[in-house]
Amino acid sequence: MTETKNKIHSEIPVEIAGAGPAGLAAAITLAHAGRQVIVHETQKEVGHRFGGDFQGLENWSTKENVLKVFEGLGLTTDFNAPPGDKCIIYDPKGRSYTIKSDEPLFYLVERGPGPGTLDSALLKQAQSLGIDVRFNSRLREMTGEGILAAGPRAADAIAVGYHFETEMGDGCWAICDNALAPQGYAYLLISNGRGTVKTCMFSGFKQEKRYLQRTVAAFERLVGLEMRNPRPHGGSGNFHIPRSAYSGPHPRVGEQAGFQDTLWGFGMRLAVSSGVLAAQSLLHGESYDRLWQRDLKPQMETSVVNRVLFSLVSNRGFSWFLRHLESRPNLRESLRKHYQSSLPKRLLSPWAKRRYESRRKDVTCDHIDCHCIWCRSECCAHD
Ligand X SMILES: Cc1cc2nc3c(=O)[nH]c(=O)nc-3n(C[C@H](O)[C@H](O)[C@H](O)COP(=O)(O)OP(=O)(O)OC[C@H]3O[C@@H](n4cnc5c(N)ncnc54)[C@H](O)[C@@H]3O)c2cc1C
Among 35, 40, 252, 332, binds ligand X (CB under 6 A): 40
Among 99, 159, 225, 331, binds ligand X (CB under 6 A): 159
Minimum CB separation of residue 346 from ligand X in Å reads 24
314-321 — which CB contacts under 8 Å span 24+ positions? 314/178, 315/91, 315/92, 315/177, 315/178, 315/179, 318/91, 318/92, 318/176, 318/177, 319/91, 319/92, 319/93, 319/95, 321/176
Stretch that binds ligand X, among 47-55, 66-74, 295-303, 359-367 (CB under 6 A): 47-55
3-class SS of residue 125: helix
Among 75, 131, 154, 271, binds ligand X (CB under 6 A): 271
Minimum CB separation of residue 107 from ligand X in Å reads 10
Stretch that binds ligand X, among 49-57, 211-219, 341-349, 362-370 (CB under 6 A): 49-57
* Per CB under 6 A, 263 contacts ligand X: no
DSSP assignment of 28-49: HHHHHTT--EEEE-SSSSTTTT
* Per CB under 6 A, 151 contacts ligand X: yes
Among 112, 146, 251, 254, binds ligand X (CB under 6 A): 254
Phi, psi of 10 (to 5 degrees): -75, -15
Going edge to edge, which strands form the sheet with 83-84?
A: 54-58, 106-110, 83-84
Task: Please compute Rg for the chain using Cα positions.
Answer: 21
Among 14, 18, 175, 215, binds ligand X (CB under 6 A): 18
* Per CB under 6 A, 17 contacts ligand X: yes
Distance CA 158, CA 24 (A): 24
Minimum CB separation of residue 344 from ligand X in Å reads 25
Minimum CB separation of residue 5 from ligand X in Å reads 29
Specify whether the CB–CB gap between 82 and 107 falls below 8 A: yes
Q: Which is nearer to ligand X, 31 or 268 (CB)?
A: 268
* Per CB under 6 A, 255 contacts ligand X: yes
* Per CB under 6 A, 184 contacts ligand X: no
Q: Which amino acid does the sequence have at 24?
A: L
Distance CA 49, CA 253 (A): 18
* Per CB under 6 A, 26 contacts ligand X: no
Binding mask 212-241 for ligand X (x = CB under 6 A): -----------------------x-x----
337 CB-side CA count, 13 A: 8
* Per CB under 6 A, 21 contacts ligand X: yes
* Per CB under 6 A, 84 contacts ligand X: no
Binding mask 337-376 for ligand X (x = CB under 6 A): ----------------------------------------
Distance CA 13, CA 142 (A): 12
Residue 83, exposed/middle/buried by CB under 10 A (0-12, 13-18, 19+)? middle
Q: Which is nearer to ligand X, 257 or 308 (CB)?
A: 257
Q: Which is nearer to ligand X, 57 or 305 (CB)?
A: 57
Q: Which is nearer to ligand X, 157 or 348 (CB)?
A: 157
Specify whether the CB–CB gap between 167 and 195 falls below 8 A: no
Pairing outcome for strands 14-17 and 37-40: parallel
Specify whether the CB–CB gap between 186 and 202 falls below 8 A: no
* Per CB under 6 A, 56 contacts ligand X: yes
Residue 285, exposed/middle/buried by CB under 10 A (0-12, 13-18, 19+)? exposed
Q: How many residues bind ligand X (CB under 6 A)?
A: 34
CA dist 248 to 16, 38, 52, 149, 355, Å? Answer: 15, 20, 35, 14, 29
* Per CB under 6 A, 146 contacts ligand X: no
Distance CA 335, CA 266 (A): 13
Among 31, 150, 176, 375, binds ligand X (CB under 6 A): 150
Q: Which is nearer to ligand X, 46 or 305 (CB)?
A: 46
Q: Which amino acid does the sequence have at 181?
A: A
Minimum CB separation of residue 8 from ligand X in Å reads 26
Stretch that binds ligand X, among 35-43, 68-76, 122-130, 244-252 (CB under 6 A): 35-43
Residues that bind ligand X (CB under 6 A): 17-23, 40-43, 48-49, 53, 55-56, 58, 138-139, 149-151, 159, 235, 237, 254-256, 260, 265-268, 271
